[in-house]
Amino acid sequence: MSGLLGATPALDIGFRRIRGAVRSVQKYPALYLTDLASVGVALAMALLLRYGVEELSARPETASVLLWSGAQYLTICALVFPLSGLYSRNWKYGSVSDLFIILRAVLLTSLLLVSLLFFSTRLTDIPRTVVPMQSLLLIAFLAAARLSFRAEELALRRPVFKSGRSRDAQDDNRIPLLLIGASDAADLYLRALARDPNATYTPVACLDRSEDQTGMSLRGVPIAGRIQDFERVVAELQQQGKQPRHIVFTEAPAAFGEEASDGLLRSAERLGIAVSRLSQMTELKRAKGDNPYELRSIELTDLLERPQAALDREAIGRLVRGRRVLITGAGGSIGSELTAQVAACEPAEIVLIDNTEYNLYAIDMTLTESFPELPRWSYLCSVRRSQRVEEIFERHRPELVFHAAALKHVPMVQMNPCEGVLTNVVGTMNVANAAKKYGTLAMVQVSTDKVVNSTSVMGATKRLAELYCQALDLNGLETGLGPRFMTVRFGNVLGSSGSLIPLFKRQLARGGPLTVTDANMTRFFMTIREAVELTLQASAYGFEKQLGQGEIFVLDMGEPIKIIDIARRMIRLAGFTPDQEIEIKIIGCRPGEKLFEELFDETDKRTSSPVPGVLGAVPEPIPLPTLRDAFARLQRHSERGNEAGVVAVMRELLPRYEHEADRKMAAASKRTPLRPKSRIKAKEAKSPRGYRAEFRLPGR
Name which residue leads in pLDDT, 393 or 257: 393
pLDDT above 70: residue 241: yes
pLDDT average, residue stretch 125-136: 80
Whether 56 and 105 map to the same domain: the answer is yes
Neighbours of 565 (CB within 10 A): 15
Whether 548 and 444 map to the same domain: the answer is yes
Give the model confidence (pLDDT) of 230-239 as tens digits: 888 888 888 8
Instruction: Identify whether 697 is part of a domain.
Output: no
pLDDT average, residue stretch 472-499: 78
Give the model confidence (pLDDT) of 451-466 as tens digits: 887 778 998 999 999 9
pLDDT at 200: 76
Whether 554 and 579 map to the same domain: the answer is yes
Q: Which range (63-67, 348-352, 459-463) has the least confidence?
A: 63-67
Whether 526 and 635 map to the same domain: the answer is yes
pLDDT above 80: residue 372: yes
Angle subtended at Cα 549 by Cα 547 and Cα 552, rounded to the nearest 5 degrees: 85
Number of domains forming the structure of the chain: 3
Whether 284 and 323 map to the same domain: the answer is no
Partner residues linked to 403 by β-bridges: 328, 445
Residue 67: pLDDT band by 50, 70, 90 thresholds?
confident
Give the model confidence (pLDDT) of 28-54 as tens digits: 788 888 888 888 888 888 877 877 766
Whether 426 and 352 map to the same domain: the answer is yes
Which secondary structure element, helix H or strand E, spans residue 525, and what is its range?
A: strand 525-527
- 3-state SS of 158-180 is CCCCECCECCCHHHHHCEEEEEE
Q: What is the DSSP string of 255-283?
A: GG-HHHHHHHHHHHHHHT-EEEEEPPTTS
pLDDT at 675: 40
What letter would DSSP give residue 689?
G
10 Å CB burial of residue 498 (0-12, 13-18, 19+) is exposed
pLDDT at 629: 94
Whether 258 and 351 map to the same domain: the answer is no
Partner residues linked to 484 by β-bridges: 442
Partner residues linked to 275 by β-bridges: 247
| Contact by Cβ (8 Å): 110, 39 | no
Whether 258 and 392 map to the same domain: the answer is no
Which secondary structure element, helix H or strand E, spans residue 155, and what is its range?
A: helix 130-155
Angle subtended at Cα 339 by Cα 362 and Cα 412, rounded to the nearest 5 degrees: 70
pLDDT at 72: 82
Whether 337 and 271 map to the same domain: the answer is no
pLDDT at 680: 35
pTM across the whole model: 0.61
Q: Which range (102-111, 155-164, 247-256, 554-563) has the least confidence?
A: 155-164
Candidates 278, 207, 261; CA nearest to 569 is: 261
pLDDT average, residue stretch 401-426: 93
Range of the domain at 190: 169-298
pLDDT above 70: residue 3: no
pLDDT at 81: 85
pLDDT above 90: residue 425: yes
pLDDT above 50: residue 387: yes
| Torsion on CA atoms 419, 423, 429, 432, rounded to nearest 10 | 180
Prior bond of 502 cis (ω within 30°): no
- Strands 349-354 and 324-328: what pairing? parallel
Distance CA 653, CA 649 (A): 6
Q: Which residues contact 464 (CB under 8 A, 6 or more apart)?
A: 424, 425, 627, 631, 634, 650, 653, 654
Whether 511 and 656 map to the same domain: the answer is yes
pLDDT at 288: 36
Q: Which residues contact 334 (CB under 8 A, 6 or more apart)?
A: 404, 446, 493, 496, 528, 531, 532
Query: Where does a domain end: 129, 155, 181?
Result: 155
CATH of the domain at 243: 3.40.50.720
Distance CA 109, CA 106 (A): 5
Q: Please count the residues of the chain.
A: 700
Output 581-584 pairs: Cβ under 8 A, ≥24 positions apart: 582/508, 582/511, 582/512, 582/513, 582/514, 583/512, 583/513, 583/514, 584/512, 584/513, 584/514, 584/516
pLDDT average, residue stretch 70-82: 85
Distance CA 629, CA 131 (A): 83
Give the model confidence (pLDDT) of 653-698 as tens digits: 988 776 554 544 444 444 444 343 333 333 333 333 333 333 333 3
Name which residue leads in pLDDT, 213 or 700: 213
Whether 186 and 105 map to the same domain: the answer is no
Residue 95: pLDDT band by 50, 70, 90 thresholds?
low
pLDDT average, residue stretch 391-420: 93
pLDDT above 90: residue 450: no
Instruction: Identify whether 381 is part of a domain.
Output: yes
| Contact by Cβ (8 Å): 527, 493 | yes
- Beta strands across the sheet bearing 552-555: 376-380, 349-354, 324-328, 400-403, 442-448, 484-490, 552-555, 614-618, 605-607
Whether 656 and 557 map to the same domain: the answer is yes
pLDDT average, residue stretch 310-319: 78
Instruction: Identify whether 160 is part of a domain.
Output: no
What is the overall mean pLDDT for the chain?
77
Q: Which residues contact 280 (CB under 8 A, 6 or more apart)?
A: 185
Residue 292: pLDDT band by 50, 70, 90 thresholds?
very low
pLDDT at 681: 38
| Amino acid identity at 589 | C
Instruction: Identify whether 520 is part of a domain.
Output: yes
Give the model confidence (pLDDT) of 152-177 as tens digits: 655 555 444 444 444 444 455 777 88
Candidates 628, 497, 604; CA nearest to 551 is: 604
